[in-house]
Structure 1
Amino acid sequence: MSNDHVPPGSPPHEKGRMHALLAFLQSAERLKDTLRSGRTAMGRPESTAEHTWRLCLLAMLLERDLPGVDHHRLLKICMLHDLGEAISGDVPAPAQGADDGRHARERDGFEELCSELPRDLHEEFLELYDDYTQGRSIEAQFAKGLDKLETMLQHVAGKNTPGFDYAFNLGYGIEATSRHPLLVRLRRIVDEETRISMTGPT
């Protein structure tokens, strides 16, 4: 990409910064092709980018119901939380294990992508990512709980393959969805939707 794309008169450091931002964006595009085990309502595999989009939409919908939460930070965490999967790929929830090395691989992938960023954004993104994985802030805890709920909702909405294990939802992400009364309320609704899916159409 040439400097012709930068407005005339821009200082040299801004030209370099804009190139770095766009290079990062192009690398992050790989998340569109990172597929998950969930299915859309039409039956095709969803991408991690699509999951991230709907997670952010869910967080936006709840803004007025979460006083005291920094919603800008919450959306940033939601946007970045699975970005490392653009490098490492997604591991379906039923296949995840405590000692499978998944978290380290995802963080390595995240660091690889962020290495293209200017230092200020590199440091900010890593701080947000580590907050999410460690659950330090209330925003990170909500992001993790909503992440689980969005996954469960996709299982309910999707046109799944025969024999799909809907019962998996009922034991999934219980700790993450128990940290706030609103998450608990949402969990009850999603669990009920799951039970309806288990019994099939009436």
Structure 2
Amino acid sequence: MSHPNDQSKLPAAASSASAAIDFLTLTRKLKTTKRTGWIMRGVPNPESIADHMYRMSLMAMIASFSNTTINTDRCIKLALIHDLAEAKVGDITPHCGVSDKEKYELELKTMEHISEMLGPLLGGEEILGLWKEYEEGVTEEARLLKDLDKIEMILQAQEYEVDGGHEKSLDQFFTSTEGKWRTEVGKAWAAEIVSRRKGVGKDDGNISKENDGS
């Protein structure tokens, strides 16, 4: 029978400590890197990649509770992993001049590096598998998370419109997602956000006065 303070378990923990701290240090970039789309539209003090990932994780948790066919834990893991590669490659958008193929290859290379860094003891293979699952978007959980990624984006856009001060219109965030929802949750939550947006008016009156000629 092993004792709760069995010293034989310490070497394994010690051997993985360096890899764990290396990984966690890398993820600091997620906390400090601002999301590109908001920067390009002149949003003051925009959210970081980690900000987006955190609220998306909460979305994954509550959205999966009402669906008995969906694995809640898996949804939360997918949310936490889906933008992990951006800790190294940054937040690449369609306006950055990088093709989808090149973006995927850059992110895959990063995720393979992270997987190797963590090794089997720290779940490296599982994390890489989760990232690939999200990218492929085939499983029910991945389809939901693809929708929630866009839901978090338009909710944030709507909130920035209410806050005001941004230099350019945020309409594109809404038009780019129209008709692209793959789940009932996505459709329902998007409709609610759009309804609230109409209730307070669009962003035309919120765009910085410095840029409207007045």
Q: Say yes or no: TM over 0.5.
A: yes
Offset from partner CA, 1:12-48 (integer Å, 9 cap, x none): 2332123322321222222112211337xx9302110
Tell me the TM-score normalised to structure 1 length: 0.81
- Give the alignment of 1:94-133 within 5 angstroms: 94-95=95-96, 99=100, 101-119=102-120, 121-133=123-135
Task: Check conservation: 1:24, 1:114, Cα contact below 8 A.
Answer: no
Q: Secondary structure at the match of 2:92?
A: coil
| Secondary structure, aligned partner of 1:116 | helix
Provide structure 2 residue ranges, at least 5 long, that are not aligned to the other structure. 1-5, 207-214
Flag the structure with more relative contact order, 1 or 2, with Cα contacts below 8 A and sequence separation at least 6. Answer: 1
2:55 match? 54
CA contact (8 A) 1:169 1:191 kept: no
CA distance in 2 between counterparts of 1:149 and 1:97 reads: 24
Task: Indicate if the aligned counterparts of 1:31 and 1:49 stay in contact, CA closer than 8 A.
Answer: yes
Between stretches 143-152 and 106-115, larger displacement belongs to 106-115
Q: Which protein shows a greater Rg?
A: 2
More helix by share: 2
Question: Alpha carbons of 1:92 and 1:192: their partners in 2 closer, same or farther (altered >3 Å)?
Answer: farther
TM-score normalized by the length of structure 2: 0.77
Q: Aligned Cα RMSD in Å?
A: 2.7
3-state SS of paired residue (1:147): helix
Q: How far apart are residue 54 of structure 1 and its match?
A: 0.9
Q: State the Cα distance separating 1:90 from its structure 2 match.
A: 0.6
Following superposition, the deviation at residue 171 of structure 1 comes to 2.2
Q: Give the secondary-structure state (helix, strand or coil) at the position aligned to 2:35.
A: strand
Instruction: Tell me the equivalent position of 1:17.
Output: 16
1:171 counterpart (167, 175, 193): 175
Aligned residues: 193
Identity %: 24
Partner of 2:192: 189
Residue matched to 1:154: 156
- The answer to whether structure 1 residue 31 and structure 2 residue 34 are counterparts is no
Gap runs ≥5 in structure 1: 1-6
Once structures 1 and 2 are overlaid, which stretch shifts more, 156-165 or 69-78? 156-165
- 1:88 matched residue in structure 2: 89
